[in-house]
Amino acid sequence: MTLNNLNDDWWKQAVVYQIYPRSFKDANGDGLGDIPGITSKMRYLRELGIDAIWLSPFYPSDLADGGYDIIDYRNVDPRLGDMADFDAMVSQAHQEGIKVIVDIVPNHTADRHAWFLEALASGRGSAARDRYIFKEGSGPNGEFPPNDWQSLFGGPAWERVEDGQWYLHIFAKEQPDLNWNNPEVHEEFKKTLRFWSDHGTDGFRVDVAHGLAKKLDGASMKDLSRWTVHDSLSHDGTHPLWDRAQVHDIYREWRQVFNEYDPPRFAVGEAWVVPEHQYLYASPDELGQVFNFEFAIANWFSGDFRTAIRDGLQAAKSSGSTATWVMSNHDVPRHPSRYGLPQAPSKATHQLPKDWVLRDGSSYEENRELGSKRARAAILMEAALPGSVYIYQGEELGLFEVPDIPWDRLEDPTPFRTRGRYTEKGRDGCRVPLPWDSLDTPDPASWNPRFGSGASFGFSPAHDADGARSADPHLPQPLWYRDFSVDVEQRDETSMLSLYKACLSRRAELLTPAQDSSVTWLDEGDDVIAYTRDAAESSAYTTIASITNFGATAITLPEGDLILSSAQLDDRSQLPQDTSVWIGMR
Ligand code: NOJ
């Protein structure tokens, strides 16, 4: 158990490991990761050196959007286990000193949620319909959508129901948006927060936290034709959909629920808002913490990361909270691939490399050696920063994106929607089941990504409870996964896994007890990110420096003990390109 985990403020400097449950570990052989699978890997997680796990949705779902379409908020998908399995998992996690965070999805339910079925059955003007956003259509007979808003997954954001009304769905049509002007919706979610808190959950990750308070009267509906988070629309809290001032009332209400518990439950918001607004969500009377996604969208330029760090620290300061750092999650291509692709000029333009978005395999000019080297440097740059570090499952293995999953094996809705139909492969490439065991490798001669091979790199057991061969992993794993299997990396001192373990244990030992949320920048030139932090009092050092060189020219390192380096240094005093070090100063 880390020191951090023993106090109520554990989340302020935590290392949180994101689990995408259906792809983490399959215990029963149905090809789908499950809750007992997570329990079985708790020791691995403890040895990795994390403070908490965050579970993406594991609730009953038709998987129209990877589980973010929830049929029942207070239950476990029977394919993933049951409530007893959940309780056992929490208890095992707590025994290992690991906190548990679950995902709350308040913007929309699934279309098979009891409320939505009731809304369909109850008809126009009913109380059941008022829990969602139903409108009459436009055109002489209401045959056109109420307006031309587009779903974030492509295609119209409105779906017509049998009696002619239309409902809003900002995401897939299987995800009808809830009406947060309805008091019943408020009560329902407070009940859900209490339910999971009563089951020992330590905190919540709040999905689409900036989207709940909508203004959908006649005037606002005409104001906009399309929207994106980074559009030129108002950022003053008056936008009809995003980041509205009223959304904060909801989180102030939730804070009261979090504070009913001892220690108070923790929350982190997923709010894709301008950096200047992040702090509002993170304030102590609201969620307490918010994701800063600047790292996740940064290209491999020192300027991008410098801005990300400055913005993140500033937001944390304004809210009286701590910052968050994230490079990968279940929505973005894995960062070793991103860093190994041709880089767009700068994130400042919000331009992502074309290949970054396309993910169709064909134009994938990935340089893996370079991508890995940079990813190694990146974790040392990130993990010395004050605040919480969010790690996405498989990141510790240095997994790359799987860009070439056959079209007919994809699960993510985005490839099949109107926007760029069949040109974007969507998000499955970072959701491929994890490789645990290289001995369970398919025979390369008969391997075909379309069909199973009986092997799953240890993701599933060889047989299910009835002795039948386990089902194939729900997304196909590529052959190269073998080299990234946990057992291979555990044996290799130079692997990404060994680097992550070393980095997280040194972080816990040297840095985390400090509650500070600022860094002292060192001026090493434009191509370098270099900062120092006060070292923990119990350590042998006064300060720890983290230095990353992005530039082609090696830089001279300051005096001190070399604690970690992302690559072997030929000359102790020189830091070459795409390399990071931690130096302890006495
Ligand atoms: C954000 C989640 O991270 C993403 O996976 C999901 O598709 C949308 N919210 C909708 O719930």
Residue 68 Cα to ligand 1 middle (Å): 6
Predicted local distance difference test score (pLDDT) of residue 362: 56
Atom nearest to 56 CA in ligand 1: 3
Residue 42 Cα to ligand 1 middle (Å): 26
Atom nearest to 329 CA in ligand 1: 3
Query: What's the average pLDDT block by block, 10 residues per block, for the chain (586 residues)?
Result: 63 96 97 98 98 98 96 98 98 98 98 98 97 95 89 88 96 96 98 98 97 83 51 69 92 98 96 83 93 88 94 88 94 90 63 50 76 98 97 98 87 68 77 96 84 89 89 94 98 98 96 78 94 92 97 96 97 96 96
Encoding tokens for residue 464? Answer: 């299910």
Q: Is 427 exposed, middle or buried (0-12, 13-18, 19+ CB in 10 A)?
A: buried
Cα 240 to Cα 242: distance, rounded to the nearest angstrom: 6
Predicted local distance difference test score (pLDDT) of residue 234: 61
Cα 403 to Cα 480: distance, rounded to the nearest angstrom: 13
Predicted local distance difference test score (pLDDT) of residue 229: 38
Q: Which CATH superfamily hosts domain 3-106+183-369+386-438+480-490?
A: Glycosidases (3.20.20.80)
Match 């409902």 to its residue by tokens.
167
φ/ψ of residue 324, rounded to 5:
-130, 150
| pLDDT tens by residue, 30-39 | 999 999 999 9
Residue 525 Cα to ligand 1 middle (Å): 38
Atom nearest to 105 CA in ligand 1: 11
Ligand 1, atom 11, lies closest to the CA of 68
Of 517, 512, 513, residue with least CA distance to 317: 517
The CATH fold assigned to 114-168 is Oligo-1,6-glucosidase; domain 2 (3.90.400)
φ/ψ of residue 183, rounded to 5:
-60, -30
Ligand 1, atom 4, lies closest to the CA of 331
Match 């009563």 to its residue by tokens.
198
Atom nearest to 65 CA in ligand 1: 7
Which residue type is seen at 531?
Answer: Y
Choosing from 20, 55, 58, 65 the residue with most ligand 1 atoms within 8 A of its CB, the one to mutate for a pocket test is: 65
Cα 48 to Cα 42: distance, rounded to the nearest angstrom: 10
Atom nearest to 170 CA in ligand 1: 10
Indicate the DSSP class of residue 519. -
Residue 92 Cα to ligand 1 middle (Å): 28
Predicted local distance difference test score (pLDDT) of residue 316: 87
φ/ψ of residue 404, rounded to 5:
-115, 35
Count other Cβ atoms within 10 Å, centred on residue 31: 20
Helix, strand and coil percent figures for the chain, each rounded to 5: 30, 15, 55
Of 59, 71, 78, residue with least CA distance to 199: 59
Ligand 1, atom 2, lies closest to the CA of 207
Ligand 1, atom 3, lies closest to the CA of 331
Ligand 1, atom 6, lies closest to the CA of 68
Encoding tokens for residue 118? Answer: 């009731």
Atom nearest to 107 CA in ligand 1: 11
Residue 187 Cα to ligand 1 middle (Å): 23
Predicted local distance difference test score (pLDDT) of residue 515: 66
Cα 554 to Cα 547: distance, rounded to the nearest angstrom: 12
* Residue 20 and residue 393 in contact, taking contact as beta carbons nearer than 8 Å: yes
Cα 584 to Cα 586: distance, rounded to the nearest angstrom: 7
Model pTM? 0.95
Atom nearest to 69 CA in ligand 1: 11
What residues have CB less than 8 Å from 278, skipping those under 6 apart?
A: 271, 290, 292, 311, 315, 319
Where b means 16+ CB within 10 Å and e means fewer, 318-334 reads: bbebbbbbbbbbbbbbb
Of 335, 329, 327, residue with least CA distance to 385: 327
| pLDDT tens by residue, 51-93 | 999 999 999 999 999 999 999 999 999 999 999 999 999 999 9
Residue 224: C-alpha distances to residues 108, 140, 234, 292 (Å): 21, 21, 11, 26
Residue 186 Cα to ligand 1 middle (Å): 20
Predicted local distance difference test score (pLDDT) of residue 360: 55
Of 2, 255, 199, residue with least CA distance to 87: 199
Catalytic machinery residues? 207, 260
User: Hey, which CATH number is domain 506-585, 3.40.190.120, 3.40.50.300, 2.60.40.1180, 2.40.50.140?
Assistant: 2.60.40.1180
Encoding tokens for residue 294? Answer: 């600047």
Please list the residues that pair with 534 across neighbouring strands: 543
Count other Cβ atoms within 10 Å, centred on residue 136: 11
Q: Is 524 exposed, middle or buried (0-12, 13-18, 19+ CB in 10 A)?
A: buried
Provide the CA 249 distance to its chain's centre, in angstroms: 25
For strands 520-521 and 15-19, give the pairing. Answer: unpaired
What residues does each domain of the chain span? Answer: 3-106+183-369+386-438+480-490, 114-168, 506-585
Residue 31 Cα to ligand 1 middle (Å): 23
Residue 102 Cα to ligand 1 middle (Å): 14
Q: What does 356-368 look like in DSSP terms, one character per residue? A: HHH--STT----H
Predicted local distance difference test score (pLDDT) of residue 145: 92
* Residue 48 and residue 42 in contact, taking contact as beta carbons nearer than 8 Å: no
Which residue type is seen at 580?
Answer: S
- Ligand 1 site: residues with CB under 6 angstroms? 65-66, 68, 105, 171, 207-208, 270, 330-331
